[in-house]
C-alpha cells in the first residue's frame, strides 16, 4: 500500500445529513481527492483516486513531517483563496501544470494544502479494518502542525454544520458512521456526501449535435452547458425545439431562448460560468 496507487473508498449521495449519535460530520473541501504516502527516508508521494501520480505538481508538500516511520493518508488537495475558501479552479491549475517553471511559480503563488480525513496504513501495518473513530485518533496522533497538511475536524451535529456551510457558500459536508471500516474501491453507505447546490432559472439556447448537451444562457449571456438531463425531459424539449431553430452548424443547433428551466450547480467560476449544472425542471 505504501508508495503505490490505490483505489479509495467512495461516497453515496444524500439530500440531508443523517441523524444519530453513531454519525460524525466533516466539511467537504472543494479540491481533488488525493492519497498521500509518507516515509521518513523517502519523503511524500501523491496519487489521485484514479491512480495517477501527482507528486511533482506539489513540491511544497515535501516539507511535511509526520510522527511515523511510514503512513498512507486519504484526503483532499486544496488551494485556499483570498477569502479563505477552497478554490477548485486554482487547485486544478496546480494539478494540470506540467512545466517545471510553472509548477515552481504556482507553488509560491497558489500554495496547496492536503486536508487529511483518514489513515489507511501506519508503521508497516494496514489499519483499514479499524473503526473510523480509532483511525481518526491515530491520524490525530501522527500529524503535527504544518502549513501544508491539516487534519479535518469532526462534528456531532450534521444539521448545524450543513446550515453553516450554506451560509458561508461552501461545497457541502460528509457524514460518516463512527464504526465504519475503510473499504478500498467500494462505494460505501457508511460514508455520505451532502452537497450545497445552488439553483438558478436559465434559458435553453442550443442543442449539441454530437455528445448531448444544452447550451444555456441567463439574460442573453452564455453561462455553460447542461449535460445531465433525464431522457423524458430531453424528449419533451426535442419536440418543442423544432419550432425554435434559428440556425445551425456542424456542432450545434441554435435556438430562440424562449424555454426556461431550473438547474442546480455547484458554484460560479471566476469567468462567470456555472460549474456542473444539471436539469431540475422546466419553468413555465
Answer for the pair 61, 169: CB distance below 8 angstroms, yes or no.
no
Per-residue H/E/C for 240-278: HHCCCEEEECCCEEEECCCCEEEEEECEECCCCCEECCE
Q: At what angle do helices 88-96 and 100-109 cross, to 10 degrees?
A: 150
Is there a common fold for 10-195 and 198-283? Answer: no
pLDDT digits (tens, 9 = 90+) for 10-65: 999 999 999 999 999 999 999 999 999 999 999 999 999 999 999 999 999 999 99
- Cell numbers of 199, please? 439553483
Q: pTM of the prediction?
A: 0.92
Residues 6 or more apart whose Cβ sits within 8 Å of residue 27: 152, 153, 161, 165, 170, 173, 174
User: What CATH class does 10-195 carry?
Assistant: alpha beta
pLDDT at position 77, please?
A: 98
- Cell numbers of 233, please? 425531459
pLDDT over 90 at 144, yes or no: no
- The yes-or-no answer on residue 28 being catalytic is yes
Q: Which long-range contacts (CB under 8 A, 24 or more apart) does 241-247 make?
A: 241/204, 241/207
Answer for the pair 205, 215: CB distance below 8 angstroms, yes or no.
yes
pLDDT digits (tens, 9 = 90+) for 218-246: 999 999 999 999 999 999 999 899 999 99
Q: How far apart are CA 85 and CA 152, in angstroms?
A: 15
pLDDT at position 274, please?
A: 97
User: What CATH class does 198-283 carry?
Assistant: mainly beta
Q: Which entry of 7, 13, 28, 262 is annotated as an active-site residue?
A: 28
pLDDT digits (tens, 9 = 90+) for 62-103: 999 999 999 999 999 999 998 899 999 999 999 999 999 999
Share of the chain above pLDDT 70, in %: 100
Q: How far apart are CA 196 and CA 229, in angstroms?
A: 20
pLDDT over 90 at 182, yes or no: yes
- Cell numbers of 248, please? 445551425
3-state secondary structure of 88: helix
Burial 94-115 (b: 16+ CB within 10 A, else e): bbebeeeeeeeebbeebbbbbb
Answer for the pair 180, 191: CB distance below 8 angstroms, yes or no.
yes
pLDDT at position 1, please?
A: 87
Question: How confident is residue 170, by pLDDT bands cut at 50, 70 and 90?
Answer: very high
pLDDT digits (tens, 9 = 90+) for 185-208: 999 999 999 999 999 999 999 999
Question: How confident is residue 145, by pLDDT bands cut at 50, 70 and 90?
Answer: confident
Q: Break the chain into its structural domains and give their ranges.
A: 10-195, 198-283
- Which candidate, 223, 194, 189, places its Cα nearest to that of 206? 223
Per-residue H/E/C for 100-165: HHHHHHHHHHCCEEEEEEEEEEECCEECCCCCHHHHHHHHHHHECCCCCEEECCCECCHHHHHHHH
Amino acid at each position: 500500500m505504501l508508495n503505490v496507487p490505490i483505489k479509495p473508498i467512495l461516497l453515496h449521495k444524500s439530500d440531508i445529513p443523517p441523524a444519530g449519535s453513531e454519525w460524525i460530520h466533516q466539511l467537504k473541501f472543494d479540491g481533488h481527492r488525493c492519497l498521500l504516502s509518507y516515509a521518513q527516508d523517502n519523503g511524500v508521494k501523491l496519487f489521485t483516486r484514479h491512480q495517477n501520480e501527482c507528486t511533482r505538481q506539489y513540491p511544497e508538500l515535501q516539507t511535511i513531517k509526520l510522527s511515523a516511520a511510514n503512513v498512507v493518508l486519504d484526503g483532499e488537495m486544496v488551494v485556499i483563496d483570498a477569502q479563505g475558501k477552497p478554490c477548485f479552479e486554482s487547485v486544478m491549475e496546480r494539478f494540470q501544470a506540467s512545466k517545471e517553471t510553472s509548477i515552481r511559480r504556482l507553488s509560491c503563488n497558489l500554495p496547496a494544502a492536503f486536508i487529511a480525513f483518514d489513515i489507511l496504513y501506519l508503521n508497516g501495518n494496514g489499519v483499514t479494518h479499524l473503526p473510523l473513530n480509532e483511525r481518526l485518533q491515530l491520524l490525530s496522533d501522527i500529524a503535527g502542525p504544518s502549513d501544508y497538511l491539516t487534519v479535518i475536524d469532526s462534528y456531532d451535529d450534521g444539521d448545524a454544520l450543513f446550515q453553516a456551510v450554506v451560509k458561508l457558500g461552501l461545497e457541502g459536508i460528509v457524514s460518516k458512521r463512527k464504526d465504519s471500516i475503510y473499504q478500498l474501491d467500494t462505494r460505501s453507505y457508511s460514508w455520505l456526501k451532502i452537497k450545497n447546490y445552488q439553483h438558478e432559472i436559465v434559458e435553453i439556447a442550443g442543442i449539441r449535435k454530437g455528445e448531448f448537451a444544452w447550451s444555456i444562457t441567463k439574460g442573453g449571456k452564455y453561462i455553460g452547458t447542461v449535460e445531465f438531463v433525464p431522457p423524458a425531459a430531453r424528449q419533451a424539449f426535442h419536440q418543442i425545439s423544432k419550432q425554435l431553430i434559428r440556425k445551425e452548424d456542424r456542432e450545434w443547433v441554435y435556438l430562440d431562448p424562449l424555454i426556461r428551466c431550473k438547474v442546480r450547480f455547484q458554484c460560479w467560476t471566476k469567468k462567470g460560468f456555472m460549474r456542473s449544472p444539471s436539469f431540475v425542471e422546466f419553468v413555465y
